[in-house]
Structure 1
Amino acid sequence: MTSADVAVSLCALAGLVLLCSAARGLLSRALADTGSAAHAAELVSTLQLCCCAHELRLLAEAGRADPRLSLALTYLASVVHALTSAGAATNPCAALERAYRGRLAGRRALLAVACQLAAAAAARAAVLPALWGLGLSEMHARHGMRGFPCRSQIRAPLHAAAAAELAGAFAAQTAITHAHAVGERYRVHAIAAVVTASVYAGGALTGAVFNPALAFSTQFLCSGSSFLELCVVYWAGPLLGTTSSVLLFDKVVPMATGMFLARRRPPETKKAN
Structure 2
Amino acid sequence: MAASLARKVSRFFKRMGVVGYSKRRNIFGIHPIIISTTYIIIALFLAALTRKIINAIFSDSIFKRMVLEFVATLELCAACFELIIVADNWGIWAYALYLCLLTIWWGKNWENATACPYSHVEEILEGFQDVSYAALLIFSQILGAIVTFRYVQILWAMELVETHRSKAFEDCVADLQVHMLLGALIEAAGTCACRITSRFLSETGTKFGNVLDAFFSTMMVVMAFNLSGGYYNPALATSLKLGCEGNTFVEHLVVYWLGATIGSVISVIIFRSAAVQDYLKSLKTKVD
The equivalent residue for 1:75 is 100
Deviation string 1:58-98 (CA, Å, 9 cap, x unpaired) is 2212x2x2322121111112111212212202111111112
Is the CA contact 1:28–1:41 (under 8 Å) kept in the aligned structure 2? no
Instruction: Report deviation, 1:109.
Output: 1.0
For 1:208, the equivalent position in structure 2 comes to 230
- Correspondence 1:175 to 2:200: no
Q: Is the 8 A contact 1:212 1:238 kept in 2?
A: yes
SS in 2 for 1:154: coil
Partner of 1:268: none
Normalising by structure 2, we get a TM-score of 0.81
SS at match of 1:204: coil
Q: Is the 8 A contact 1:6 1:59 kept in 2?
A: yes
Seen in structure 2, the aligned counterparts of structure 1 residues 151 and 10 have a Cα distance that, compared at 3 Å, is same
Q: Which residue of 2 aligns with 1:38?
A: 65
**Alignment partner of 2:100: what SS?**
helix
One-letter identity of the residue aligned with 1:112: L
Matched, 1:219 2:241: yes
CA contact (8 A) 1:54 1:218 kept: yes
1:161 to 165, 183, 201: 183
Q: Could you tell me which residue of structure 2 aligns to residue 88 of structure 1?
A: 113
- Of 173-182 and 68-77, deviating more is 173-182
* Structure 2 residue 35 is matched with structure 1 residue 8: yes
2:84 is aligned, of 57, 82, 85, to 57
2:218 matched to 1:193? no
Structure 1 residue 19 and structure 2 residue 34: aligned? no
Structure 2 contact 175–227 (Cα < 8 Å) conserved: yes
Q: Identity across aligned pairs (percent)?
A: 23
Deviation, structure 1 residue 136: 2.8
Report deviation, 1:34: 5.3
- Which of 167, 173, 195 is residue 143 of structure 1 equivalent to? 167
* Residues 1:182 and 1:255: Cα distance change in structure 2 (over 3 Å): closer
Contact 2:221 2:229 in 1 (8 A): yes
Structure 2: give runs of 5+ residues left out of the alignment. Answer: 1-20, 22-29, 280-288
188-197 vs 9-18, greater mean Cα deviation: 188-197
Letter in 2 for 1:195: S
Residues 217-258 of structure 1: CA deviation (Å, up to 9, x unaligned)? 01102111111111111111101111111112213636998x
Instruction: Please say if residues 72 and 113 of structure 2, whose CA atoms lie closer than 8 Å, have aligned partners that are also in contact.
Output: yes
Distance 1:242 1:120 in 2: 20
Is the 8 Å Cα contact of residues 171 and 194 (structure 1) preserved in structure 2? no
100, 105, 112: which one pairs with 2:130? 105
> What's the secondary structure of 1:167's corresponding residue?
helix
**CA offsets 1:33-72 (integer angstroms, 9 cap, x no match):** 65522111101001000111111012212x2x23221211
Q: CA deviation at 1:173?
A: 0.8
Distance change >3 Å, CA 25–CA 177, structure 1 → 2: same
What is the alpha-carbon distance in structure 2 between the residues aligned to residue 242 and residue 34 of structure 1?
Answer: 26
C-alpha deviations, 1:152-181, integer Å up to 9, x for none? 000112222111111110111101211225
Contact 1:161–1:205 under 8 Å retained in 2: yes
CA distance in 2, matches of 1:42, 1:225: 27
1:140 partner letter:
H
Taking structure 1 as the reference length, the TM-score comes to 0.85
Query: Is the 2:116–2:141 contact (alpha carbons within 8 Å) kept by the matching residues of 1?
Result: yes
Unaligned runs of 5+ in 1: 258-273
Structure 1 equivalent of residue 143 of structure 2:
118
Structure 1 residues 149, 105: CA separation in 2 closer, same or farther (over 3 Å shift)? Answer: same
Count residues in correspondence: 251
TM-fit CA distance, 1:142: 3.2
